[in-house]
Amino acid sequence: MSVSPRMTIGEAARRTGVSIKALRFYDDLGILDVAGRSEANYRLFTEDVISCVELIRRLQQAGLSLRQLQAIVRGQERGEDPVALLRRAYAEALARTERELATLQARREALRARVAPIFATVTRLLLRAKPLTVAEIAATSGRTESDVTEALDALEPVERDDAGRVLGLGITLVPTPHHFRVDGRELYTWCALDTLMFPSLLGVRAEIESPCRSSGSPVRLTATAEGVSDVEPPSAVLSVVPIEHAPNIRTAFCDHVHFFRSAADAEAWLAEHPGGTVMPVAEGFALGRGFAEEMR
Protein backbone atom coordinates (compact mmCIF):
# COMPACT_ATOMS: atom_id res chain seq x y z
CA MET A 1 0.00 0.00 0.00
CA SER A 2 1.46 3.37 -1.01
CA VAL A 3 1.55 6.22 1.50
CA SER A 4 0.88 9.76 0.35
CA PRO A 5 3.95 12.01 0.67
CA ARG A 6 3.78 14.31 3.65
CA MET A 7 4.74 17.96 3.77
CA THR A 8 5.69 20.31 6.58
CA ILE A 9 3.47 23.19 7.59
CA GLY A 10 5.86 25.60 5.90
CA GLU A 11 5.54 23.77 2.58
CA ALA A 12 1.77 23.52 3.06
CA ALA A 13 1.62 27.30 3.58
CA ARG A 14 3.61 27.84 0.39
CA ARG A 15 1.49 25.41 -1.64
CA THR A 16 -1.85 26.77 -0.40
CA GLY A 17 -0.97 30.47 -0.32
CA VAL A 18 -2.08 30.95 3.29
CA SER A 19 0.06 31.72 6.29
CA ILE A 20 1.43 29.19 8.78
CA LYS A 21 -0.57 30.99 11.47
CA ALA A 22 -3.79 30.50 9.52
CA LEU A 23 -3.09 26.78 9.00
CA ARG A 24 -2.50 26.33 12.72
CA PHE A 25 -5.73 28.16 13.47
CA TYR A 26 -7.68 25.98 11.02
CA ASP A 27 -6.25 22.88 12.70
CA ASP A 28 -7.12 24.19 16.17
CA LEU A 29 -10.70 24.70 14.97
CA GLY A 30 -10.78 21.14 13.66
CA ILE A 31 -11.61 22.10 10.07
CA LEU A 32 -8.29 20.97 8.57
CA ASP A 33 -7.01 17.40 8.50
CA VAL A 34 -3.48 16.92 9.80
CA ALA A 35 -1.82 13.71 8.59
CA GLY A 36 0.27 13.36 11.70
CA ARG A 37 3.22 14.77 13.55
CA SER A 38 6.95 14.63 12.91
CA GLU A 39 9.40 13.28 15.47
CA ALA A 40 9.84 16.88 16.58
CA ASN A 41 6.03 17.15 16.98
CA TYR A 42 5.51 19.45 13.99
CA ARG A 43 2.30 19.16 11.97
CA LEU A 44 2.48 17.17 8.73
CA PHE A 45 0.07 17.37 5.79
CA THR A 46 -0.73 15.45 2.60
CA GLU A 47 -1.69 16.85 -0.80
CA ASP A 48 -5.30 16.94 0.46
CA VAL A 49 -4.50 20.12 2.38
CA ILE A 50 -4.51 22.08 -0.90
CA SER A 51 -8.09 21.20 -1.83
CA CYS A 52 -9.20 21.54 1.80
CA VAL A 53 -7.87 25.09 2.11
CA GLU A 54 -9.41 25.98 -1.25
CA LEU A 55 -12.78 24.70 0.01
CA ILE A 56 -12.45 26.76 3.19
CA ARG A 57 -11.66 29.83 1.10
CA ARG A 58 -14.67 29.30 -1.17
CA LEU A 59 -17.05 28.76 1.73
CA GLN A 60 -15.77 31.95 3.40
CA GLN A 61 -16.29 33.85 0.16
CA ALA A 62 -19.87 32.50 0.14
CA GLY A 63 -20.41 34.12 3.53
CA LEU A 64 -19.75 31.31 6.00
CA SER A 65 -17.60 32.05 9.03
CA LEU A 66 -14.85 29.78 10.31
CA ARG A 67 -16.94 29.09 13.41
CA GLN A 68 -19.77 27.90 11.18
CA LEU A 69 -17.39 25.58 9.35
CA GLN A 70 -16.27 24.24 12.72
CA ALA A 71 -19.92 23.59 13.67
CA ILE A 72 -20.49 21.72 10.39
CA VAL A 73 -17.48 19.47 10.97
CA ARG A 74 -18.54 18.74 14.54
CA GLY A 75 -22.08 18.02 13.39
CA GLN A 76 -20.80 15.51 10.84
CA GLU A 77 -18.74 13.85 13.55
CA ARG A 78 -22.00 13.41 15.52
CA GLY A 79 -23.62 11.79 12.51
CA GLU A 80 -25.74 14.73 11.35
CA ASP A 81 -26.61 15.19 7.68
CA PRO A 82 -23.86 17.39 6.11
CA VAL A 83 -26.25 18.79 3.50
CA ALA A 84 -28.70 19.90 6.20
CA LEU A 85 -25.82 21.39 8.19
CA LEU A 86 -24.63 23.35 5.17
CA ARG A 87 -28.11 24.62 4.36
CA ARG A 88 -28.57 25.80 7.93
CA ALA A 89 -25.19 27.54 7.86
CA TYR A 90 -26.06 29.34 4.62
CA ALA A 91 -29.39 30.45 6.08
CA GLU A 92 -27.59 31.81 9.14
CA ALA A 93 -25.05 33.60 6.95
CA LEU A 94 -27.82 35.18 4.88
CA ALA A 95 -29.67 36.32 8.00
CA ARG A 96 -26.44 37.74 9.41
CA THR A 97 -25.76 39.64 6.18
CA GLU A 98 -29.26 41.10 6.19
CA ARG A 99 -28.81 42.22 9.81
CA GLU A 100 -25.47 43.80 8.96
CA LEU A 101 -26.99 45.63 5.99
CA ALA A 102 -29.78 46.95 8.20
CA THR A 103 -27.23 48.01 10.82
CA LEU A 104 -25.11 49.69 8.16
CA GLN A 105 -28.08 51.62 6.83
CA ALA A 106 -29.12 52.72 10.31
CA ARG A 107 -25.56 53.75 11.07
CA ARG A 108 -25.35 55.71 7.83
CA GLU A 109 -28.56 57.56 8.60
CA ALA A 110 -27.47 58.37 12.15
CA LEU A 111 -24.04 59.43 10.98
CA ARG A 112 -25.47 61.58 8.22
CA ALA A 113 -27.83 63.34 10.62
CA ARG A 114 -25.07 64.15 13.09
CA VAL A 115 -22.07 64.72 10.87
CA ALA A 116 -23.10 65.60 7.33
CA PRO A 117 -23.82 69.30 8.02
CA ILE A 118 -20.15 69.96 8.86
CA PHE A 119 -18.24 66.85 7.76
CA ALA A 120 -17.27 67.99 4.27
CA THR A 121 -16.42 71.47 5.56
CA VAL A 122 -14.14 70.17 8.31
CA THR A 123 -12.35 67.65 6.12
CA ARG A 124 -11.86 70.18 3.30
CA LEU A 125 -10.40 72.71 5.73
CA LEU A 126 -8.09 70.02 7.15
CA LEU A 127 -6.52 69.72 3.68
CA ARG A 128 -4.66 72.93 4.58
CA ALA A 129 -2.77 70.82 7.16
CA LYS A 130 -3.53 73.27 9.97
CA PRO A 131 -5.63 72.92 13.17
CA LEU A 132 -9.17 74.31 12.88
CA THR A 133 -11.03 76.57 15.28
CA VAL A 134 -14.78 76.36 15.80
CA ALA A 135 -15.03 79.92 14.46
CA GLU A 136 -13.32 78.92 11.18
CA ILE A 137 -15.62 75.94 10.73
CA ALA A 138 -18.71 78.04 11.51
CA ALA A 139 -17.72 80.82 9.11
CA THR A 140 -17.03 78.38 6.27
CA SER A 141 -20.10 76.20 6.81
CA GLY A 142 -22.53 79.08 7.37
CA ARG A 143 -23.59 77.63 10.74
CA THR A 144 -23.45 79.15 14.18
CA GLU A 145 -20.56 78.38 16.49
CA SER A 146 -22.95 76.74 18.94
CA ASP A 147 -24.27 74.44 16.19
CA VAL A 148 -20.72 73.48 15.20
CA THR A 149 -19.73 72.88 18.81
CA GLU A 150 -22.79 70.68 19.38
CA ALA A 151 -22.05 68.64 16.23
CA LEU A 152 -18.39 68.16 17.19
CA ASP A 153 -19.26 67.22 20.76
CA ALA A 154 -21.60 64.51 19.45
CA LEU A 155 -18.65 62.89 17.66
CA GLU A 156 -16.54 61.02 20.17
CA PRO A 157 -13.60 60.27 17.84
CA VAL A 158 -12.96 63.90 16.77
CA GLU A 159 -9.32 64.73 17.52
CA ARG A 160 -8.56 68.09 19.17
CA ASP A 161 -5.54 69.79 20.66
CA ASP A 162 -5.32 71.33 24.13
CA ALA A 163 -6.79 74.57 22.79
CA GLY A 164 -9.88 72.73 21.48
CA ARG A 165 -8.88 73.11 17.83
CA VAL A 166 -9.87 70.24 15.53
CA LEU A 167 -6.96 68.08 14.36
CA GLY A 168 -8.78 65.17 12.79
CA LEU A 169 -12.08 63.84 11.53
CA GLY A 170 -11.31 60.98 9.15
CA ILE A 171 -8.51 63.10 7.68
CA THR A 172 -6.08 63.94 10.45
CA LEU A 173 -2.94 65.91 11.21
CA VAL A 174 -2.01 63.27 13.79
CA PRO A 175 0.29 60.63 12.22
CA THR A 176 -1.26 57.22 11.47
CA PRO A 177 -0.02 54.39 9.23
CA HIS A 178 -2.18 55.72 6.37
CA HIS A 179 -0.29 58.50 4.54
CA PHE A 180 -2.49 60.80 2.46
CA ARG A 181 -0.56 63.38 0.39
CA VAL A 182 -2.52 66.15 -1.34
CA ASP A 183 -0.79 68.97 -3.25
CA GLY A 184 2.47 68.17 -1.51
CA ARG A 185 0.97 68.37 1.98
CA GLU A 186 1.50 65.38 4.27
CA LEU A 187 -1.77 64.31 5.88
CA TYR A 188 -3.08 61.05 7.31
CA THR A 189 -6.38 59.20 7.57
CA TRP A 190 -7.91 57.03 10.25
CA CYS A 191 -8.13 53.91 8.09
CA ALA A 192 -7.49 52.41 4.67
CA LEU A 193 -11.07 53.05 3.50
CA ASP A 194 -10.74 56.75 4.35
CA THR A 195 -7.89 57.07 1.86
CA LEU A 196 -10.30 55.90 -0.85
CA MET A 197 -13.33 57.89 0.31
CA PHE A 198 -11.94 61.41 0.65
CA PRO A 199 -10.70 61.88 -2.94
CA SER A 200 -14.29 61.28 -4.07
CA LEU A 201 -15.85 63.44 -1.35
CA LEU A 202 -13.46 66.37 -1.76
CA GLY A 203 -12.56 66.09 -5.44
CA VAL A 204 -8.81 65.85 -4.84
CA ARG A 205 -5.93 63.72 -6.11
CA ALA A 206 -4.13 61.89 -3.31
CA GLU A 207 -0.93 59.88 -3.21
CA ILE A 208 -1.50 57.07 -0.70
CA GLU A 209 0.96 54.88 1.13
CA SER A 210 0.10 52.45 3.90
CA PRO A 211 1.84 49.35 5.29
CA CYS A 212 0.48 45.87 4.72
CA ARG A 213 -1.06 44.92 8.07
CA SER A 214 0.62 41.51 8.12
CA SER A 215 4.04 42.07 6.54
CA GLY A 216 4.62 45.80 7.00
CA SER A 217 5.60 46.12 3.32
CA PRO A 218 4.19 49.28 1.68
CA VAL A 219 1.03 49.43 -0.38
CA ARG A 220 0.97 52.46 -2.68
CA LEU A 221 -1.66 53.93 -5.01
CA THR A 222 -3.14 57.11 -6.40
CA ALA A 223 -6.79 58.02 -5.85
CA THR A 224 -8.95 60.69 -7.45
CA ALA A 225 -12.67 61.39 -7.58
CA GLU A 226 -12.86 59.07 -10.61
CA GLY A 227 -11.06 56.04 -9.23
CA VAL A 228 -7.74 54.50 -8.30
CA SER A 229 -4.59 53.94 -10.34
CA ASP A 230 -0.98 52.82 -9.97
CA VAL A 231 -1.93 50.30 -7.30
CA GLU A 232 1.25 48.61 -6.14
CA PRO A 233 1.18 45.72 -5.75
CA PRO A 234 -1.81 45.14 -8.09
CA SER A 235 -2.96 42.28 -5.83
CA ALA A 236 -3.54 44.64 -2.86
CA VAL A 237 -6.77 44.33 -0.87
CA LEU A 238 -8.30 46.04 2.13
CA SER A 239 -10.14 44.60 5.10
CA VAL A 240 -13.56 45.67 6.35
CA VAL A 241 -15.68 44.62 9.31
CA PRO A 242 -19.39 45.03 10.07
CA ILE A 243 -20.21 48.51 11.34
CA GLU A 244 -21.58 48.22 14.86
CA HIS A 245 -23.82 50.63 16.74
CA ALA A 246 -21.11 52.33 18.75
CA PRO A 247 -20.47 55.96 19.72
CA ASN A 248 -16.89 55.75 18.49
CA ILE A 249 -16.77 54.65 14.86
CA ARG A 250 -13.00 54.81 14.91
CA THR A 251 -12.55 52.02 17.45
CA ALA A 252 -15.57 50.03 16.25
CA PHE A 253 -14.73 50.17 12.54
CA CYS A 254 -11.75 52.24 11.41
CA ASP A 255 -9.19 50.49 13.61
CA HIS A 256 -9.94 47.21 11.79
CA VAL A 257 -9.75 48.51 8.20
CA HIS A 258 -6.26 47.90 6.77
CA PHE A 259 -4.42 47.36 3.52
CA PHE A 260 -2.84 43.99 2.71
CA ARG A 261 -0.52 43.26 -0.20
CA SER A 262 -2.73 40.33 -1.25
CA ALA A 263 -5.67 38.23 -0.11
CA ALA A 264 -3.19 35.55 0.98
CA ASP A 265 -1.48 38.08 3.28
CA ALA A 266 -4.87 38.68 4.93
CA GLU A 267 -5.57 35.00 5.75
CA ALA A 268 -4.30 35.20 9.33
CA TRP A 269 -6.25 38.42 9.95
CA LEU A 270 -9.42 36.82 8.55
CA ALA A 271 -8.90 33.80 10.80
CA GLU A 272 -8.83 36.12 13.82
CA HIS A 273 -11.78 38.27 12.64
CA PRO A 274 -14.61 35.86 11.69
CA GLY A 275 -16.96 38.70 10.74
CA GLY A 276 -14.41 40.45 8.54
CA THR A 277 -13.78 40.26 4.83
CA VAL A 278 -11.33 41.63 2.28
CA MET A 279 -11.90 43.21 -1.11
CA PRO A 280 -9.78 44.50 -4.01
CA VAL A 281 -8.78 48.16 -3.84
CA ALA A 282 -11.12 49.07 -6.73
CA GLU A 283 -14.09 47.60 -4.83
CA GLY A 284 -12.98 49.46 -1.72
CA PHE A 285 -13.02 52.70 -3.72
CA ALA A 286 -16.60 52.00 -4.82
CA LEU A 287 -17.57 51.39 -1.19
CA GLY A 288 -15.85 54.60 -0.11
CA ARG A 289 -17.57 56.57 -2.86
CA GLY A 290 -20.91 55.31 -1.54
CA PHE A 291 -20.05 56.63 1.92
CA ALA A 292 -18.93 59.92 0.37
CA GLU A 293 -22.32 60.31 -1.31
CA GLU A 294 -23.98 59.91 2.07
CA MET A 295 -21.85 62.72 3.54
CA ARG A 296 -22.37 65.35 0.84
Report the catalytic residues: 191, 194, 254
Neighbouring residues of 134: CB distance < 8 A, sequence distance ≥ 6: 145, 148, 149, 152, 164, 166
The C-alpha torsion from 85 through 88 and 92 to 95, rounded to 10°, is: 160
Q: For residues 254 and 118, give the distance between their C-alpha atoms in angstroms, rounded to a whole number.
A: 20
Question: Would you call the peptide bond into 199 cis, given omega within 30 degrees of 0 as the criterion?
Answer: no
| Helix (H/G/I), strand (E/B), else coil: 45 | strand
Q: Provide the angle, in degrees to the nearest 10, between the axes of the packed helices 48-61 and 20-29.
A: 80
By the 8 A CB rule, do 279 and 238 touch? Answer: yes
The number of CA neighbours under 13 Å toward the Cβ of 29 is: 21
As a whole number of angstroms, the distance between CA 49 and CA 211 comes to 30
What letters, b where the CB count within 10 A reaches 16 and e where it falls short, cover 205-241?
Answer: ebbbbbbbbbeeeebebbbeeeebeebeeeebbbbbb
Q: What's the half-sphere exposure (Cβ side, CA atoms, 13 Å) at 226?
A: 1
Helix (H, G, I), strand (E, B) or coil at 238: strand
Query: Using an 8 Å Cβ cutoff, are 137 and 148 in contact?
Result: yes
Q: How far, in Å, CA of 35 to CA of 190, rounded?
A: 44
Q: What are the angstrom distances between the C-alpha of 43 and each of 5, 38, 56?
A: 13, 7, 19
For residues 289 and 197, the answer to whether their CB atoms sit within 8 Å is yes
